[in-house]
């Protein structure tokens, strides 16, 4: 083992800023070890030993020093190094690619530093990492993400890991590929999130996540094909670290049933409280296309009110009806009558969009000239300069509805009931490629309004001072929804749900959506039995 650990060793004088050094509180370190459990045959890896908080927790939990391999880039020995076989001056990312060692348990509090800030050898090693067959680390990510991917590669089949991560695990775009795929490769994923900061390091102001991944599955395509699409995912939210510590302790393997299998004798009845609901979920982005509306590049030129249109004498055929603001979405559907009310209120709901057949119209030709030669339009802006012709804004070809990425209620869909109606990029457009009826689309829209989804949105939304939550399309695509078990009558329920939502009755809206769901039920733990007499 000693010779193997020398492979990939690099003496690199990497100076990590103090804002990226986060030290594991002792009680949290102990809870992380307890969450994984231990047997005498387990081989442990701690890839970023630091001062040794996790080594001390392992030792106090009865893990023998010969079971533990530790690495750290800092060549300076620490007093707690005696609790494991520690290799100092070893750069983990390079080492992980060259070692033949594999481990049953990996535990870590990895460094938080942007990959682009690493020295070139380390940055190059990070960007070579691929985990779970096709999850790649990129230069736009963070070192904690590279450590996590590299650690997964070093797990034995049925191995477990526990990582202390920043809150960015839940929303960072660069981490999305692993978030989406990790549950397919482990039998169980646990995400324990503290809403308050766990660290006192500079700039670490957000909460933190303890990620526990249990029992790595065989990685061959054939073996994965025989397994369920995804393992069980458990999420826990805590207000403070002490609650998180207790929550991790409750998930200790010693307190969990070893197998969900249940052997029932004839004449027994399951006690209802012993049956826990497991919900099959899928990513919203796999059933609903979510993207930006048309990017004009210069809204003042391209977006017009009815009064402006009349003053410019532009023909109706040279314009496209659009919605451009969240306040334009006022009900579960947006009809021609609703749009005409916006037009009559002098909202900017016309998009200048002349077809080639109208280029000779005097008013159209005059307006293009104003934009091109008289400075009415910023035609040098990137979005305008890269398109041809510059005066036509590309619009999504398929639109079923619209939603706002910023709302006090969370994202909801207003379905399009007016032909040719489009949206600009202040709103998102949605399309249901596999739905053939309004009820099917409404059933999926109801999924977005359940209390389960609301909890996910609360975690990933960017909160603004006025109480608004902001969501990017990528955030929404990652949301996991419960596929509806029925569709008939969904349109009517969706109208009720949105009416309640817009009236400020959010709990009522969630209750309507929750009631609509009919998820499958499955026994996941050994029940108490009631014998018939």
Q: Is residue 21 part of a domain?
A: yes
| Helix residue ranges per DSSP H, 134-254 | 143-153, 176-185, 221-225, 241-250
pLDDT band of 5, cuts 50, 70, 90: very low
Q: Is residue 209 part of a domain?
A: yes
Question: The domain spanning residue 202 has which CATH number?
Answer: 3.40.50.150
Q: Which of 224-233, 291-300, 321-330 has the lowest mean pLDDT?
A: 224-233
pLDDT at residue 22 above 80? no
Q: Is residue 136 part of a domain?
A: yes
Q: Supply the pTM of this predicted model.
A: 0.51
Q: Is residue 350 part of a domain?
A: no
pLDDT band of 219, cuts 50, 70, 90: low
Do 322 and 424 touch, CB atoms closer than 8 A?
A: yes
pLDDT at residue 259 above 80? no
**pLDDT tens digits along 507-528:** 999 999 988 875 433 333 333 3
pLDDT band of 257, cuts 50, 70, 90: very low
pLDDT band of 260, cuts 50, 70, 90: very low
Q: Which of 1-5, 131-135, 440-444, 492-496 has the lowest mean pLDDT?
A: 1-5
SS3 499: helix
Q: Is residue 390 part of a domain?
A: no
The residue among 104 and 11 whose pLDDT is bigger is 104
Q: Residue 52 corresponds to which tokens in the numbers above?
A: 């040794």
181 alpha carbon, distance to own chain's centre: 11
pLDDT band of 460, cuts 50, 70, 90: low
| Average predicted confidence (pLDDT) for the chain | 83
DSSP H/E element including 125: helix 120-126
Q: Is residue 319 part of a domain?
A: no
460 alpha carbon, distance to own chain's centre: 7
Q: Check residue 475 and give its pLDDT.
A: 78
- Residue 133: left (phi > 0), alpha (psi -120 to 50), or beta? left
- The total number of structural domains in the chain stands at 1
pLDDT at residue 505 above 60? yes
pLDDT at residue 91 above 60? yes
Q: Check residue 83 and give its pLDDT.
A: 95
Q: Is residue 395 part of a domain?
A: no
Q: Is residue 281 part of a domain?
A: no
- Give the C-alpha separation, 196 to 217, whole Å: 33
pLDDT band of 391, cuts 50, 70, 90: very high
DSSP letter, residue 394: -
Q: Residue 238 corresponds to which tokens in the numbers above?
A: 């805590």
Provide the residue range defining the domain that includes 11: 2-253
Average pLDDT rounded to a whole number, residues 377-400:
92
């Amino acid at each position: 083992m000693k010779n193997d650990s020398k492979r990939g060793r690099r003496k690199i004088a990497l100076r990590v800023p103090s804002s990226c050094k986060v030290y594991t509180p002792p009680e949290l370190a102990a809870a992380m070890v307890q969450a994984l459990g231990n047997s005498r045959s387990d081989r442990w890896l701690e890839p970023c030993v630091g001062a040794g908080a996790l080594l001390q927790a392992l030792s106090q939990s009865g893990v023998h020093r010969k079971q533990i391999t530790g690495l750290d880039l800092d060549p300076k020995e620490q007093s707690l190094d005696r609790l494991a076989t520690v290799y100092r001056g070893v750069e983990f990312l390079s080492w992980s690619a060259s070692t033949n060692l594999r481990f049953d348990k990996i535990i870590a509090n990895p460094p938080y530093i942007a990959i682009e800030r690493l020295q070139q050898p380390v940055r190059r090693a990070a960007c070579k990492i691929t985990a779970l067959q096709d999850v790649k680390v990129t230069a736009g990510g963070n070192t904690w993400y590279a450590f996590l991917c590299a650690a997964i590669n070093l797990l034995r089949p049925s191995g477990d890991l526990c990582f202390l991560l920043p809150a960015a695990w839940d929303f960072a775009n660069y981490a999305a590929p692993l978030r989406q795929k990790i549950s397919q490769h482990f039998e169980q994923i646990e995400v324990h999130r503290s809403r308050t900061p766990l660290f006192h390091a500079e700039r670490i102001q957000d909460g933190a996540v303890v990620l526990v991944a249990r029992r790595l599955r065989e990685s061959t395509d054939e073996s994965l094909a025989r397994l369920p699409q995804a393992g069980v995912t458990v999420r826990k939210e805590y207000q403070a670290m002490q609650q998180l510590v207790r929550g991790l302790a409750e998930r200790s393997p010693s307190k969990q049933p070893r197998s969900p299998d249940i052997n029932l004798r004839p004449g027994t009845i399951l006690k209802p409280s012993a049956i826990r609901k497991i919900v099959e979920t899928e990513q919203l982005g796999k059933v609903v296309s979510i993207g930006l509306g048309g990017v004009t590049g210069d809204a003042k030129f391209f977006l017009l009110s009815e009064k402006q249109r009349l003053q410019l004498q532009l023909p109706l055929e040279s314009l496209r009806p659009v919605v451009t603001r969240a306040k334009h979405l006022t009900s579960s559907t947006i009809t021609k009558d609703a749009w005409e009310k916006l037009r009559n209120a002098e909202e900017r709901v016309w998009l200048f969009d002349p077809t080639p057949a109208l280029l000779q119209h005097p008013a159209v030709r005059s307006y293009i000239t104003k934009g091109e030669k008289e400075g009415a339009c910023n035609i040098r802006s990137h979005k305008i300069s890269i398109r041809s012709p510059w005066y036509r804004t590309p619009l999504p070809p398929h639109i079923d509805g619209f939603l706002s990425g910023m709302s006090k209620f969370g994202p909801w869909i207003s379905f399009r009931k007016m032909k040719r109606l489009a949206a600009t990029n202040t709103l998102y457009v949605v399309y249901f490629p596999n739905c053939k009826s309004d009820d099917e689309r409404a059933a999926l829209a109801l999924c977005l309004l359940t209390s389960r989804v609301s909890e996910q949105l609360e975690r990933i939304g960017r909160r603004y001072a006025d109480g608004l939550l902001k969501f990017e399309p990528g955030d929404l695509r990652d949301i996991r929804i419960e596929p509806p078990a029925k569709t008939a009558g969904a349109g009517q329920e969706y109208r009720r749900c949105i009416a309640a939502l817009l009236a400020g009755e959010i709990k009522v809206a969630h209750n309507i959506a929750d009631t609509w769901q009919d998820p499958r039920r499955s026994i996941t733990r050994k029940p108490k039995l009631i014998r018939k007499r």
